[in-house]
Amino acid sequence: MRKTYRLEELDCANCAAKMEDAIRRIDGVESCRVNFLTQKMTIECAEEALEGIMKKAAAAIKRIEPDCTIVG
């Protein structure tokens, strides 16, 4: 399953790259792309694992860029 989310308050391309790398390391994530210019994140994973992965992804994003939030 591929799902795209909008990110708010993503301030720099370097932070986007760090987020992408951290989320890719989460168990169950097949792929992740964080685009600074469009302020979007696309995650590909099994549908049944999505909720748990998104909780971990949100935590990783807050560690890297505390002001950034995921908007469904």
- Name the average pLDDT for the chain: 97
**Closest CA relative to residue 59, chosen from 71, 70, 45, 72:** 70
pLDDT of residue 72: 77
- Find the CATH number of the domain harbouring 53: 3.30.70.100
Q: Total structural domains in the chain?
A: 1
Percent share of the chain, pLDDT over 90: 99
Which residue range forms the structural domain that includes residue 45? Answer: 2-71
* 19-40 per-position pLDDT tens digit: 999 999 999 999 999 999 999 9
pTM reported for the whole predicted model = 0.93
